[in-house]
Structure 1
Amino acid sequence: MAQYTPEYLPTGDEIAVIKTSKGDIRVQLAGKDAPIHVGNFVELARKGFYDGLKFHRHVPGFVIQGGCPNTRDLTSDEVVKKAGNPFAGLGTGGPGYSIKEEYSTNPNNKHLDGALAMARSQDPNSAGSQFYLCLGPQHTLDSGYTVFGQTVEGKDVIGQLRVGDVIETIEIENAVD
């Protein structure tokens, strides 16, 4: 899969407002620490890539994961029914490209409670659009997955999210044009 370098250059001031069916989550994006991941996330959010996608993976006390485009045309109930079925294709979709890992260069790559990070396959450079939010600290992930934001408001919302809940839209505040 082609490796993509985003055109958007983060300033470090960007805040993602993830609007979900359970409420809003505000995440301070780490543009200085993970510029490729933040640039990619900002571009996808601005294009409306995430609008209407559903969360497809929930592991209590671990993570809630979304951003798979294979959930776009499914109802929330269909996502719930297909979750966990390895043949359903949930968790396998992306934007058609991948981005370079930054966990090895990010000086603050810490999976704290509410951290926003990119999911990937076994290839370290395979992240694309799928992200997860940590349900508590997950430091075993620090050396293998790129953290690119930290929740500043809405941890209560993150705790309520389940498989099938909708990402209504993601707005980016303080982004430069």
Structure 2
Amino acid sequence: MMDAENTLILELETGAVTIELRPDLAPKHVERIKSLARKGFYDGVVFHRVIPGFMAQGGDPTGTGSGGSKEPDLPAEFSKEPHVRGVCSMARTANPNSANSQFFICFDDARFLDSQYTVWGVVTDGMDHVDALPKGEPPRSPGKIISAKVAADA
């Protein structure tokens, strides 16, 4: 049974991606993602770093990989949850408490990231649309998030 308050729908140019949010693992990060989505922060934001076999990273309004929201950075909420295909996790700098708005979706097993990045969700539908994102660091014409909505609001 889907919990609409803890389901994020990313509308990509390639199609819809459904993400089950995990407040049980990362309550502060889930709250941030929902808050930013509800403000339209992610709408039109690109995936600026897409590495085949690894992950697709987005959530930076500048599209460069160095930007974030105006909200303060979040304290790490690391867990033992494995970084495997479909897992959504927060990007950060070398400082473990620097996650803000950028996130990545794993294409494949990336277990070497376990316990070092905050896992906040998992793709339950539409992973093929993530797979279809243009590749590159940055991609020549990056794929973008048309809209990000909490299912309860849709």
TM-score (norm 1): 0.77
For 1:172, the equivalent position in structure 2 comes to: 150
User: What are the ranges of 5 or more consecutive residues in structure 1 without an aligned counterpart?
Assistant: 1-10, 72-89
1:124 corresponds, among 90, 96, 100, to: 96
Output the CA distance in 1 between the equivalents of 2:82 and 2:121: 10
Map Cα deviations across residues 63-115 of structure 1 (whole Å, 9 max, x no partner): 001011103xxxxxxxxxxxxxxxxxx10001132001101xx3x52111010
For 1:80, the equivalent position in structure 2 comes to: none
Contact persistence 1:13–1:31 (CA under 8 A): no
For 1:82, the equivalent position in structure 2 comes to: none
Map Cα deviations across residues 30-49 of structure 1 (whole Å, 9 max, x no partner): 01111011000000000000
* Structure having the higher Rg: 1
For 2:30, the equivalent position in structure 1 comes to: 38
Tell me whether 1:109 sits opposite 2:81 in the alignment.
yes
Contact persistence 2:4–2:152 (CA under 8 A): no
1:95 corresponds, among 56, 62, 69, to: 69
Output the CA distance in 2 between the equivalents of 1:137 and 1:29: 19
Going from structure 1 to structure 2, the CA distance change for 1:13 and 1:32 (only over 3 Å counts) comes to farther
Q: Which moved more, 1:94-103 or 1:12-21?
A: 12-21
Aligned-pair identity (%) = 37
Structure 1 stretches (4+) deviating beyond 6 angstroms? Answer: none
Contact persistence 1:95–1:129 (CA under 8 A): yes
**Paired residues, number:** 144
Question: What amino acid sits opposite 2:114 in the alignment?
Answer: D
TM-score (norm 2): 0.88
1:55 corresponds, among 47, 59, 64, to: 47
CA RMSD, aligned part only?
Answer: 1.6
User: What are the ranges of 5 or more consecutive residues in structure 2 without an aligned counterpart?
Assistant: none
How far did residue 174 of structure 1 move? 3.5
